[in-house]
Chain A
Amino acid sequence: MPKLLDLNSGQLMDLVPEADLVIAHDRDLVAEPPELEGVRIIELKLPQFKDGRAFSQARLLRSRFGFTGELRAAGHPIPDQAFALRRVGFDSVELVDAARAEAFRMGLKAYRFAYQRSVNGEAIPFQRQTVA
């Protein structure tokens, strides 16, 4: 049974409710802005882990279109992408194989810092001299 991993808490959850909006990995969000009225959950896809378009789509949804609901990553993300997924604004990952949850949790903890601002308002490393 596919499960959902919460990237913020590391909790494994049932895959409910389903996403209100599924955005294809090749959709040009600038040319075709999404209708976000009433949308609470958006699913973005990595058709294979090497296809990183969803990382840009997520940031666009957060920073350009102001989406504040849940962003889910589906398709074939790998555990080593967990940290990056969270930093570009994903909240959760769909896991076809729930046994991989632990590897994703490890991925989330791989780094203590990042050099880039997170769209989630996490540490702003370029200001590390003033913040730290």
Chain B
Amino acid sequence: MYHYDDYDRAMVKDRVAEFRDQVERRIAGALTEDEFKPLRLMNGLYLQLHAYMLRVAVPYGTLNPDQLRVLASIARDYDKGYAHVSTRQNFQFNWPKLKDVPDILDRLADAEMHAIQTSGNCIRNTTTDHFAGAADGEVEDPRITCEVIRQWSTFHPEFTFLPRKFKIAVSATEHDRAAIAVHDIGLQLVRNAAGEPGYKVLVGGGQGRSPHIGVWIRDFLPQADLLSYLEAILRVYNLHGRRDNIYKARIKILVSEMGAEAFTAAVEQEFEAFRAIGPGGSVDLPAAERKRIADYFAPPAFAKLPDWSEELEQAKREDPRFAAWVKHNTHPHKEEGYASLTISLKAHGQAPGDITDRQLEHIADVAERYALSDIRTTHEQNMVLPHVRKDDLYTVWQELEAAGLGMPNHGLVSDIIACPGLDYCNLANTRSIPVAMRIQERFADPERQATIGELKIKISGCINACGHHHVGHIGILGVDKKGEEFYQLTLGGRADEDAAIGEIVGRGLSTDEVIDAVERIVERYLAVRLSDQERFIDTYRRLGADPFKEALYAEAA
């Protein structure tokens, strides 16, 4: 993975020193709250319902064991013993005290982490496939592109006061696990006819109160031109994005108001102007600097192994829970004899994405011993060990299971994305986590979950859609009606290469009703699917919303 050089270290340390001074000035009364608020937000520090919340950037979701241990130590020393994986691959702490935050940031900086640009109207953490570097069929490791973007976007002098926040995602495989279609910019790594690597570029995707699937504005952008093209897009957005209405300020609104064609023309005009300046004044990365970054992402030293592991097969035969875990939580690896695995943070009775200090340390130890010290967070609020030998899978699973991390439910009905909701969040209208917990309870039987198969339920506690409900196979949106919590269902959303926004079905439901409604939808799916090979989302695509609406209304009537 990438390691800081002296420049990176200096940048982050300078930032911590600056924020320490700002906190001291706020406490001493030299800064008003109005002045301090934008400064703390630029350092990822929010004020929520009961406490401050610190969002720590996990660039493209990649961590090493030492970083995990530092996160664990922060959870223990400055928080209440746990941390939370967000829906953008970041870590959040829910209970830090204001005066401790500079010390926390210092501790993070020593482990090459920071909270820079995790809030505010700037370019946020670039996200990618959690199997980057392990997935078969990658054009190249997408994290190289992400790191290039991380450096370029950090304290970008032109793009730190944009109309609204800005999110970029990168995918390097045909199967999109990074949800690029619902990002402000989505980059798909591709090769042209000559076999050269480059990007297919999408803009204007997003969720929130007006969900949009992005539009492709370029089929092939040479790799060397990436930054000037990004600058062109950001400049058009910075100059023309709406600033009169916060709800219309995202780039998706600009693209739809200008029209994709006019927007593309404006971007291409800016891009041509950059090219006219020539290499000397270009913002693009010199090949040597790109190579310096790329070298950090060279594949680790994989052993030459047979693809078949008798140890694995035997353990599967002897331990059915392990067999279920292998089926749902392991994924093919590009190297023979290896697998990637998902550590579910969706144990029943636990808030989706929460993880304790001990569990973090446990994963660090396991990763060091068995997984080439490489750890990922996922936007689905789980964690991943991308490189594990098949021969070691049973041992690894047993160790994870001992720490409460061996749930065999990845991709199943209980693997729910949920935003923090009204239990923590200042913007929320309703709670999300208790709804997730009750659905998990309702579908507690692991065999029933396995029978249902892949089903992505995503819950947001308000219209800002941090719980990605628009792209849930079943989406649940919390709405407040005169102080009571109600939930609106959407069906058929998806965030992959066939991305779609879910269709709203039915009226707002009470908490009790929504659990029943989800169950009725699931039962109807089981009744109408062609076989157990047809996933919920495939059945939905074949039949549309009607049979499910019928199931909802028939019962309600």
Contact = CB atoms under 8 A, between A and B. Distances in A.
Q: Judge A-B direct contact (beta carbons within 8 Å).
A: yes
A30 B269 contact: yes
A116 B157 CA distance: 8
Given A63-B277, A64-B273, A127-B289, A80 B7 contact: no
B238 A128 contact: no
A55 B238 contact: yes
A70 interface: no
A37 to B, nearest CB: 21
Given A115-B151, A117-B283, A128 B7 contact: yes
A52 B285 CA distance: 25
B556 interface: no
Interface in A76-129: 78, 80-81, 83-85, 87-88, 110-118, 125-129
Interface stretch (B10-18, B102-110, B474-482): B10-18
A132 B257 CA distance: 45
A63 B281 contact: yes
Interface residues of A, number: 38
A69 to B, nearest CB: 19
Q: A53, A83, A87: which has the most chain B beta carbons within 10 Å?
A: A53
Nearest to A51: B243
A110 B35 CA distance: 17
Given A114-B157, A126-B286, A57 B292 contact: no
B387 to A, nearest CB: 28
B264 interface: no
Interface in B267-302: 269-270, 273, 277, 281, 283, 285-286, 288-289, 292
A45 interface: no
Interface stretch (B159-167, B369-377, B404-412): B159-167
B59 to A, nearest CB: 13
A50 B157 contact: no
A53 B242 CA distance: 11
A113 B10 contact: yes
B210 to A, nearest CB: 21
A80 B39 contact: yes
Nearest to A49: B161
A59 B161 contact: no
A129 B11 contact: no
Interface string B450-490: 00000000000000000000000000000000000000000
Contacts of B14: 110-112
Interface string B1-31: 0000101001100110010000000000000
Tell which of B121, B154, B157 has the most Cβ of chain A within 10 Å: B157
Interface string A43-61: 0000001111101110110
Contacts of A59: 158, 235
A112 B10 CA distance: 7
Interface residues of B, number: 40
A84 B160 contact: yes
Interface in A22-49: 28, 30, 49
Given A28-B239, A111-B14, A115-B152, A50 B161 contact: yes
A132 to B, nearest CB: 8
Nearest to B153: A115
A50 B11 contact: no
A130 interface: yes
B156 interface: yes
B155 interface: yes
Contacts of A51: 161, 243
A56 B239 CA distance: 7
A129 B289 CA distance: 7
Interface string B234-259: 01001110010000000000000000
Interface of A: 28, 30, 49-53, 55-57, 59-60, 63-64, 78, 80-81, 83-85, 87-88, 110-118, 125-130, 132
12 contacts: A28-B239, A30-B269, A30-B270, A50-B161, A55-B238, A59-B235, A81-B160, A84-B160, A113-B7, A113-B10, A126-B152, A127-B286
Given A30-B266, A110-B15, A127-B286, 19 more contacts: A50-B38, A52-B158, A52-B238, A56-B235, A57-B239, A63-B281, A78-B35, A78-B38, A80-B39, A88-B157, A111-B14, A111-B15, A111-B155, A112-B11, A113-B10, A116-B157, A117-B283, A118-B157, A127-B289
Report the 10 A-B pairs with minimum CB-CB distance, sorted nearest first. Answer: A52-B161, A84-B157, A87-B157, A55-B158, A115-B151, A56-B238, A88-B157, A126-B289, A111-B14, A56-B239
